[in-house]
Chains A and B, each alone.
Chain A
């Protein structure tokens, strides 16, 4: 067992704190996320003069508690990213499995779609669909779920193609196992580590995409909130109330940074081959 680096410990602690805060968040403040206090508008955080002790991180333009806002934003951003990651991983891998299983024209068509997706920035496709269909929570989560599907598809197709030609897979088929059993019970566990590494890469990217869109006012809509949306809200108050933008920004930064560090570590642990190829 190698010595665990302090940076990795830091990253894991940050992630653990983020998850715990997102789950039990309401313990940390007595204010609701949309509760307005018009007498305490734009109050600075506790360490500055003129602050109000019941709002340790300050308040926004209508006196909402920044602690409650940031926690609600964190809950939303994490939930959307988790949902998006799961949908993308399942959908993309399924496409890859199907392509690898059927080969022939099915594979050609699916891989052409993958190439098509890979040749365009995803944000462009997202914005087109949001513009034409109008923003809704369902559409938004589906879009976040579609992010990165082409990477899972490419990855799982490649790994499955090499896995089903291994002796163990041939042996299982010879023993009479059906396709479902072959892929789910035998091939999937063998490609899982490559997929998990991909998950750790996509997760922070989905957080960045969601917060970017919400920041632009095109993602999560009020009364719901997300870290990106709070940051965007604070943009008009930069000269008077920097804290509205800085707190959610810091949280996004710390969470994505920690996730990347943990992802790098996992990549080293689970798949030394992949590391040699991609970095």
Chain B
């Protein structure tokens, strides 16, 4: 048991170290790091000042070590566009992404999981076909196009909802639906197949034979067993959600970290890009760790295997 936890945590630390090293290598191979982080229109004096500030004349391995320490302590540098600390700029965007993300994630689970369960119970029915067709559609419909179609319909034609920005609860609805659609589709598909697999098992038949009621069988016997793979997919989908937020926040001018990343990349505000990428990666990797540990708690077989 302890071995399982230690291995998982070691693996997480290793991945995080990989991420920081990756960004360091990219930063050093893409050109002069000072110009990259200070901006192309900095004066030679400024460049020299930063060169000394970051002690870029030290051997590379010392710089690397220092870089890892800086990143680990959140010292991402200063945005050359507005001269503020990167960490502050990011911090004020995070709540917005959290609101949007939580809202759509909970929505996706509340819609996707029950839909998948019902599709599995009513296998081959019209409802099953409808759910599966919707899931395929959701997979093929790019989220930016879905967002634009919703703006056209609900903001411009019907004038029910605001097309972009923030301020009221109404502003949250369209970005959240856009972001949730793909996840809900994936969850429905996955829940369906996980349930189908479990429903065939002998213990379900045994439960039926000893007189356990239909819904009791589904909810207390099938669902807990089907939820094991489901936890993984919910964790994996967090990555899709972060990727989706980058696009959806831009479509709806939502002031979260995703939109910040897009503007930082297009204006090449590299200190901000570096900070954002590291923070998003850390979030992802930690979420994966939590999922792995949960998985171990839910399914004792996994712990033993490892």
Which residue of the partner chain B has the closest CB to A277?
B193
Q: How many B residues, CB 8 Å from partner? A: 52
Contact A128 B148 (CB under 8 A): no
Within 8 A of A (CB), among B258-306: 261-262, 264-266, 268, 270, 273-274, 277, 280-281, 284-285, 288
Q: B250 in the interface, Cβ–Cβ < 8 Å? A: yes
Contact B145 A124 (CB under 8 A): no
Residues of B within 8 A of A234 (CB): 148
Residues of A within 8 A of B280 (CB): 121, 124
Q: How many A residues, CB 8 Å from partner? A: 46
Within 8 A of A (CB), among B135-171: 136-137, 139-145, 148-149, 151-152, 156, 163
Known contacts: A131-B273, A218-B265, A235-B148. The answer to whether A253 contacts B141 by CB under 8 A is yes
Contact B148 A119 (CB under 8 A): no
Contact A124 B277 (CB under 8 A): yes
Contact B26 A129 (CB under 8 A): yes
Contact A116 B273 (CB under 8 A): no
Choose among B139, B247, B273, B288 the residue that contacts A132 (Cβ–Cβ < 8 A): B273
Q: B127 in the interface, Cβ–Cβ < 8 Å? A: no
Choose among A116, A132, A212, A257 the residue that contacts B30 (Cβ–Cβ < 8 A): A132
Q: A28 in the interface, Cβ–Cβ < 8 Å? A: no
Contact B242 A124 (CB under 8 A): yes
Q: A4 in the interface, Cβ–Cβ < 8 Å? A: no
* Nearest chain A CB to B111 CB, angstrom units: 20
Residues of B within 8 A of A134 (CB): 268
Residues of B within 8 A of A49 (CB): none
Q: Which of B15-23, B41-49, B76-84, B100-108 lies at the interface with chain A?
A: B15-23
Contact B137 A257 (CB under 8 A): yes
Within 8 A of B (CB), among A118-152: 119-125, 127-134
Choose among B30, B136, B139, B246 the residue that contacts A133 (Cβ–Cβ < 8 A): B30
Known contacts: A115-B15, A132-B30. The answer to whether A215 contacts B264 by CB under 8 A is no
Instruction: Give Cα A131 to B267, complex, Å.
Output: 8
Contact A216 B140 (CB under 8 A): no
Contact A279 B262 (CB under 8 A): no
| Interface set of A (CB-CB < 8 Å, partner B) | 112, 115-116, 119-125, 127-134, 204, 208, 211-212, 215-218, 228, 231-232, 234-235, 238-239, 242, 245-246, 249, 252-253, 256-257, 259-261, 264, 279
Interface CB pairs A-B, < 8 A, 14: A116-B15, A116-B18, A120-B19, A121-B239, A123-B246, A124-B243, A124-B277, A124-B280, A127-B265, A129-B26, A217-B262, A238-B148, A246-B152, A253-B140
